[in-house]
Amino acid sequence: MTDPNPRPLISIVTVSLNARALIEQTMRSVLIQKAADVEYVVIDGGSTDGTVDVIRHHAEDLDFWVSEPDRGISDAFNKGIQATQGEVVGILNAGDWYEPGALEAVRRVRHPEERFTIYHGDMAYHHEDGRHAWNARASPEHIWKYMSMFHPTMFVEREVYRRLGMFLPEFRYAMDSEFVHRCVRAGVRFAYLPRIQAHMRLGGKSGRNFRKSLLDFRDSAIRHGAPRIPSYYRCFSATVQHALLRYWWGRKLKQLRDGLGLGPPRG
């Protein structure tokens, strides 16, 4: 007998807080790809700027949404995951958006027997005004040096969350890095999709708290087995480099470094 209410294949979670100017683009990028096997959940943290009006406008196309206070981004992520039923879960923050065809790309490569898997791809970064900044290639081999995997592009098999747990609230700025570190150490299979899967707008919470994000990343890397001294050095070096970007000559040095291929990989 056919199940009249089959479990969705893909669940998408969007979390938001006072993102009225941004969430429409995010939601449309999901809804334009939404099919019978796609579930869409929106978790709002109690916005007061009109974000809820935008969500309510699309309520008929959502499978679940709520607007209530939470205990931070990790808590919102976890509430969203717990509200879903899909076999594979993607998380897309308000302000980010999917590349057309992103969900179909996951459908094409997913193997139903490979349940301990994360599907991921490349990401395009944009300035806060929407102008394209650069493309970034996923580099799992560099995950202990910097966040070389991009959570808006990641589609996580539910079995991964079941076995390893969800996001840890103690990591307030690099909770996605800690989750990836945990998955790498546990032997999760990372299936790479060689395409832009998502777009991220610069200037989010992690961007505004760059040093705290670096400290979170450093602590996560050490917790999961990275050598302590190199981890401290990379954190200090990245902090200095970020500070130098405030000066024109610091930006010129960065352009020279990137031109020589010494920076993080970009497409």
Band (165; pLDDT cuts 50, 70, 90): very high
Per residue in 98-118, pLDDT (tens digit) is 999 999 999 999 998 999 999
Average pLDDT over residues 38-67: 98
Cα–Cα distance for residue pair 20/251, rounded to 1 Å: 32
Cα–Cα distance for residue pair 256/267, rounded to 1 Å: 17
User: pTM of the predicted model, to two decimals?
Assistant: 0.88
Q: In terms of C-beta distances under 8 Å and separation of at least 24 residues, what long-range contacts does 212-218 make, across chains too?
A: 212/172, 212/173, 213/173, 213/174, 214/174, 214/238, 214/239, 215/173, 216/171, 216/172, 216/173, 216/174, 216/175, 216/177, 216/178, 217/146, 217/147, 217/174, 217/177
Model pLDDT, residue 206: 47
Model pLDDT, residue 221: 94
Please state the domain extents for the chain: 10-207
Between 49-63, 182-196, 248-262, the lowest mean confidence (pLDDT) is in 248-262
Whole-number average pLDDT of the chain: 89
Greater pLDDT, 250 or 103: 103
* Domain 10-207 bears CATH identifier 3.40.50.10420: no
Model pLDDT, residue 262: 47
- Which residue bears the tokens 């916005």? 47
Instruction: Find the helix or strand (DSSP H, E) in which 249 lies.
Output: helix 248-259
The closest alpha carbon to 265, from 185, 150, 181, belongs to 150
Average pLDDT over residues 176-199: 97
Average pLDDT over residues 137-145: 90
Model pLDDT, residue 66: 98
Can you state the percent helix, strand and coil of the chain, rounding each to 5?
A: 40, 20, 35
- Which residue bears the tokens 């879903």? 84
Tokens of 214: 């670096």
Residues 120, 150: contact at Cβ < 8 Å?
yes
What's the sign of the alpha-carbon dihedral 20, 172, 177, 209?
Answer: positive
What's the sign of the alpha-carbon dihedral 8, 39, 33, 204?
Answer: negative
Residues 117, 189: contact at Cβ < 8 Å?
yes
